Structure 1
């Protein structure tokens, strides 16, 4: 799981150790993501399945894509499809994905890169593996997160952010037991590169075997911990958690995790996607590729899509021209 790393974590800025009076967030629930298929048939774990939207707010949906070792000819993506009313955040840990959209946004993302697409008022987009990966096969692993937009911003102009892995803020826990990558928002005053409409923090944290980590957390945010790989415990009561499980935490000032002393051979560390944000607390009407506030707005979104008002599929590039 390469993502972005450093040879010596102790050379990085340290996360401040929370004060002794800080309240550790207790575990409200632990759920196991069911497995399924998305797009043209790539395997996913539905990370938020079975969790009340009120506990996830401002997040709507999250898929762990893979981890899968494709044979030649097997890599798959998604066909052209619409979105309106939210943002998609695609984080690639292993492998390569190509993004194109009807607003001209696009790019190739690979190990540790993130594409942040604000659908806003609506667009069409497609995500596919590059041709060379389809031919060769190979490892693919990533995440796609859906971030809700408040009613006042649902019809904002679409926007695309191409976040290179080398742009994320890299931090160390106080004792060097964990590497923290700040993708968006901020942690302990260290900001990530992702520009967000909704106040959120998104981290990819690697915890060494046996290490105990206490991350200061905005008390106005909710807190979610998803295990990408490995096993450990979360919360002050050290609730067990393993790959493919999501912990929803309660109120407090810090997130507390511990990696088991013994990890699987294919994943030497506990790998976590840690996220939280300020709840929007507005009605959610979601169906398929649209996330709005009311059923009438959903109907309008479908009508606008069918009428071509969310954009048109760009023509395929001609040989000799840049694909993106």
Structure 2
């Protein structure tokens, strides 16, 4: 069985009027290679005629963003010409690669009508050899994403990437990665085999779960040791977790603002390229 190394509570870092908790990175944990950043926005209820999400046009290079829309919606626009509104239960996967500009805001409908909102964004690193890959964006609605049941229907797994029980995730990834959103009913349990050399990303979004006999409430990130081959999770109450695992890159990482590269020189180059207009133009 895999053992817990440390439990990391998410710190409260509001952004404008957006409730935001951030468990990674923290002063105790820089990354769970290749998982490098998580923001948990909400849960909160927006009134009618609100301003929506505050993420206007900004650049990225050298990493990927995976956005989980649990409630509410998110409108994506980028300098590659992609545009979509993804609603509750949907997922966005954006490969920033060599660089692009994007905005993540609420739809006009959400800003007018308001409603519940809960959205998480995970940053996944790219290996050095793929840092400058061509940017890409795919947004999928809930019914377009692979899902299957476990424990006599008491668990629903939304398989975003990778393979699990013969099911294939909905997004093809540049580096091998398994990633899922798991909805667990109280009393349910699952066991997953995870190779010892892979790092585990395990975040409790809602409710509480038991791992190794320890009850862990929501807004906590669990860091595991690279031991054992098996992870067992029991739901102490109705719960949602994000579970990912992948082999670490074991490369130097320099993260500064919206750029994640391998050297400080590459970070400086990213800023220069962005200022020189090499990330495309913003004409939305």
Corresponding residue number in structure 1 for 2:254: 285
SS in 1 for 2:132: coil
| Residue from 126, 138, 160 that aligns with 2:137 | 160
Q: Which residue of 1 aligns with 2:232?
A: 256
Question: 1:312 matched to which residue of 2?
Answer: 281
Q: CA RMSD in A?
A: 1.5
Hey, what does 1:243 align to over in structure 2? 218
- Residue in 2 aligned with 1:93? 70
Give how far 1:254 is off.
2.0
* More displaced stretch, 279-288 vs 195-204: 195-204
Paired residue total: 281
Contact 2:25 / 2:36 at 8 angstroms: preserved in 1?
no
**Could you report, residue by residue, the CA deviation over 1:136-182 in whole angstroms, capped at 9, with x for unpaired residues?**
11111111110100111000110111223223222222444322111
Q: Which has the higher strand share?
A: 2
**Residue 113 of structure 1 pairs with residue 90 of structure 2:** yes
Structure 1 residue 189 displacement after superposition: 2.9
Bigger Rg, which one: 1
Q: How do residues 1-324 of structure 1 correspond to structure 2 at under 5 angstroms?
A: 24-38=1-15, 41-50=17-26, 51-53=28-30, 56-74=32-50, 75-234=52-211, 237-250=212-225, 251-260=227-236, 263=237, 269-314=238-283, 316=284
Q: For structure 2, which runs of at least 5 residues remain unmatched after alignment?
A: none
Question: SS at the partner of 2:13?
Answer: strand
TM-score, with length taken from structure 1: 0.83
Q: Which runs of 5+ in 1 are unaligned?
A: 1-23, 264-268, 317-324
Q: Distance in 1 between matches of 2:189 and 2:79?
A: 45
Q: For 2:128 and 2:58, how far apart are their aligned partners in 1?
A: 22
4+ aligned runs moved over 6 Å, structure 1: none
TM-score normalised to the size of structure 2?
A: 0.94
Kindly state the Cα deviation for residue 41 of structure 1 after the two structures are TM-superposed.
Answer: 4.2
1:322 aligns with none
1:208 Cα shift? 1.4
Q: Verify the 8 A CA contact 1:58 1:198 in the aligned structure 2.
A: no
